[in-house]
Amino acid sequence: MRPMRITVCCTDTKIQRWLDGLRAALPEADVQEWRPGAAPADHAVVWAPPQQFLDEQQGLRALFNIGAGVDALMKLRLPPDALVVRLDDAGMSVQMAEFACHAVIRHFRELDGYERDVAQGKWTFRKPRSRADFPVGVLGLGVLGRRVAQALAAFEFPVRGWSRSAHAVAGVECFAGSGQFDDFLAGTRVLVNLLPLTPETENILDRRTLGRLRPGGYVINVARGAHLVDADLIALLDSGHLAGAALDVFRTEPLPAEHPFWRHPKIVVTPHTSARTLRDESIAQIAGKIRALERGEPVAGVVDRKKGY
């Protein structure tokens, strides 16, 4: 019997480290970087593969995406019978919680203002603000959103969350479905976006929805750039309805040099770094799942192709 074949097709310049790690974790397998015309593999480890890869590898049993978001993959023609498996935390949720809490607290405690003052040699105080005036709303209560909501609740912010199906999360007021979206928004001042990008959620952060946030709202987008209508955000910042935004993801990445987000005084830009794929954790998770699938066992993190996440 031939050994199990695993093909790796990703844009990571350090692909050799993925190959070495997978070979060490699965010594029984034949792990190779994909090349056009390669023999059919049983499992694939991918990030942003070309369509040619998928067309050639129609017999895959599973495609492991080395990220949490599968939006780019879902736009391609996938092998019809392959399971699509996303990274299931693998060290991302704690990073996302750190990042979101930092962004919320930086805004709430006016640390940006203190940084500006100190840079000018000013020893000034601002009046402490009340947490009750800063309800935080988390869009998406999945692997990352739930962890972020719980981390913010631990800092005693009033926290609310919105998801497609109903959830119960300790310390979080939960809303579900389009029928409760406006109520969720109306009680939110700081919005953290952790939705997957799907046809239903594309452009969801627009003039109408962001306009429903409480006055002085703040937007933290750590999900995907195409959730946000860029011009609508700028208009609401310039009108004063929104106080600011922390943006980690963009429609075009890297963010083009001429994009107004770079220079807007109320926007903080970071380069898609809020929750990085951690190679060792990811390899251990994927290797464990490949072994489970080979034993005929179910695995967590399987994408529902109809829902798109």
Least distance (Å) from ligand NAP to the CB of residue 156? 23
Q: Convert 223-257 to b/e letters by CB count within 10 Å (16 or more is b).
A: bbbbbbbbebbbebbeeebbbbbbbbbbeeeebee
CB of 127 to ligand NAP, least distance (A): 33
| Selected binder of ligand NAP within 42, 56, 232, 248 (CB under 6 A) | 248
Q: Does 159 bind ligand NAP (CB under 6 A)?
A: no
Closest residue to ligand NAP in the complex (CB): 142
Query: Cα dihedral sign for 35, 40, 46, 52?
Result: positive
The Cα 117–Cα 129 span in angstroms is: 18
The DSSP letter of residue 100 is H
Residue 272 is a catalytic residue: yes
Three-state secondary-structure class, residue 64? strand
**Among residues 21, 46, 57, 67, the one that binds ligand GLV under rule CB under 6 A:** 67
Is residue 68 at the binding interface for ligand GLV, with CB under 6 A as the rule? yes
Strand order in the sheet with 217-221: 172-176, 159-163, 136-139, 190-193, 217-221, 242-247, 267-269
Active site residue 224: yes
Size of the site for ligand NAP (CB under 6 A): 29
Cβ closest to ligand NAP, residue 14 vs residue 126: 14
Task: Give the per-residue contact string, 246-285, with ligand GLV (x = CB under 6 A; - = no).
Answer: -------------------------------x--------
Q: Do residues 233 and 245 touch, judged by C-beta distance below 8 A? A: yes
Q: Closest distance between ligand NAP and the C-beta of residue 189, in Å?
A: 20
Beta strands in the chain (DSSP E): 5-10, 30-33, 43-47, 62-65, 83-85, 136-139, 159-163, 172-176, 190-193, 217-221, 242-247, 267-269
Q: How far is Cα 234 from Cα 257, in angstroms, rounded to an integer? A: 17
Segment contacting ligand NAP (CB under 6 A): 34-42, 74-82, 190-198, 239-247?
A: 190-198
- 69 belongs to the binding site for ligand NAP (CB under 6 A): yes
- Widest CA span of the chain, in angstroms? 74
Catalytic residue among 61, 251, 259, 272: 272
Question: Out of 158, 196, 225, 244, which residue is the one contacting ligand NAP (CB under 6 A)?
Answer: 196
Summarize as ranges the residues that interact with ligand GLV (CB under 6 A). Answer: 67-69, 277
Summarize as ranges the residues that interact with ligand NAP (CB under 6 A). Answer: 68-69, 92, 140-145, 162-165, 194-198, 200-201, 222-224, 248-249, 272, 274-275, 309
